[in-house]
Amino acid sequence: MMLNPETGAPANEVVLEAIGLTKHFPVRRKLRDLFNRTHDAVHAVDDVHLTLRRGRVTALVGESGSGKSTVARLLAQLYPRTAGDIQLHGQSTKVKGGRQFRQYAARVQMIFQDPFASLNPVHTIRYHLTRSLKIHHNAGNSAEELEAALNNLLTRVSLTPPERYLDKFPHELSGGQRQRVAIARALGADPEALLADEPVSMLDVSIRLGVLNLLRDLKERLNLAILYITHDIASARYFADDTMVMYAGRMVEGGDSESVTQSPAHPYTRLLIDSAPDPDRIANMLGDAADRGNGEPPSLIKPPSGCRFHPRCPMAMPRCHTDLPVRLEIGDKPGHWAACWLYDEATVAAQPPGSAAAGHSPEAVTVAADAHPEEVR
């Protein structure tokens, strides 16, 4: 078993796991609904399975409203879950606040999209970092040890020399520097997993790469498990080891990043990749069906039956309107799966050669080995 030289922890060890994670937000009832027995809910996240391993970045990709940020907040235990389980090192966890939450947060930290909103504008960088170190008992026993820990945190996120930044206020830093401070604050807890919710989407394009490279460096040096939430599948291809794609609250495709981005199997993943501004390419690939693929995401209060992508899918078949797709292995690389009926044995057998499903080794199309039992019908 390979050990990380800095942390001594085994590489690839499972840190955090979501099993059938589900979150429904109740919709506030109007006066006219008081005598109505139905209780509407937003089906924000349904039956999500996700594994975060040490030394690996897992990207969760999808358009706005797909539920990816809700997954991060559920994993951070900021929201109670409706159903499913969250396991930390194989132990089921459910924390409500107080000491339990601090103990959990010491191992699982979150980085938010807007670094300015996540830092208190009336306090210095020294205050933010000291607070994190003290809450998580990493501040040492003397002023010298605290100063050394502060310097170490800022050096880790490449804000050097540290004394130039420690006594500044957030508004005196650039967006990229603020996000580095937010990352340093998360590292003050000495976590095993980082949940990064669109960490670069509010930064200038020119500095995004620097922050992603920093996260990748931390992943390697500190053997961190990182969840990288993004709507930009191109950055997932660059930065993440594994990529999961979400649509309308459900996972639709997953696997190692190269397979998912170079050989996308699910029509929605293909749409995400093809949505780069190249009208000729889109027209060539999808023909008349392009209009359907580019529609709006569905309502999550009454999500579409069967496959939630069917109203937009250029390949939709009659069964897609009624049957919820299960995870099916694609067969090009181990662990690459898609929740799409195109890869069902019966559909593949009926496909003409050269069609979408036939392009992915139809003989290897089977129900994924790691599919959750309830998903396999």
- List of residues contacting ligand SF4 (CB under 6 A): 266-267, 307, 309-310, 313, 315-317, 320, 325, 340-342
Phi, psi (deg, nearest 5) at residue 139: -90, 0
Which helix (H) or strand (E) segment holds residue 22: the answer is strand 14-26
Helix 125-135, helix 175-187: angle, nearest 10: 20
How do 57-61 and 225-230 pair as beta strands? parallel
| Residue 200 vs 315, nearer CB to ligand SF4 | 315
| Residue 176 vs 314, nearer CB to ligand SF4 | 314
| Residue 192 vs 253, nearer CB to ligand SF4 | 253
| Residue 180 vs 266, nearer CB to ligand SF4 | 266
- For residues 222 and 139, the answer to whether their CB atoms sit within 8 Å is no
| Residue 191 vs 298, nearer CB to ligand SF4 | 298
DSSP-derived letter for residue 66 is S
CB atoms within 10 A of CB 96: 8
- In angstroms, give the least distance from the CB of 336 to ligand SF4: 15
Phi, psi (deg, nearest 5) at residue 301: -80, -40
- In angstroms, give the least distance from the CB of 60 to ligand SF4: 18
- In angstroms, give the least distance from the CB of 305 to ligand SF4: 11
- Report the half-sphere exposure of 292 (CA within 13 A, side-chain side): 13
| Residue 208 vs 327, nearer CB to ligand SF4 | 327
| Residue 185 vs 266, nearer CB to ligand SF4 | 266
- In angstroms, give the least distance from the CB of 349 to ligand SF4: 15
Cα distance between residue 145 and residue 134, in whole Å: 12
| Residue 180 vs 312, nearer CB to ligand SF4 | 312
Cα distance between residue 332 and residue 329, in whole Å: 9
- In angstroms, give the least distance from the CB of 243 to ligand SF4: 17
- In angstroms, give the least distance from the CB of 311 to ligand SF4: 8
- In angstroms, give the least distance from the CB of 83 to ligand SF4: 23
- In angstroms, give the least distance from the CB of 363 to ligand SF4: 20
For residues 66-92, b (16+ Cβ closer than 10 Å) or e, as one string? Answer: bbbbbbbbbbbbebebbebebebeeee
Cis geometry, peptide bond prior to residue 115 (ω within 30 degrees of 0): no
Angle, CA 139 vertex, CA 158 and CA 7 arms, to 5°: 60
How do 366-367 and 327-329 pair as beta strands? antiparallel
DSSP-derived letter for residue 32 is G
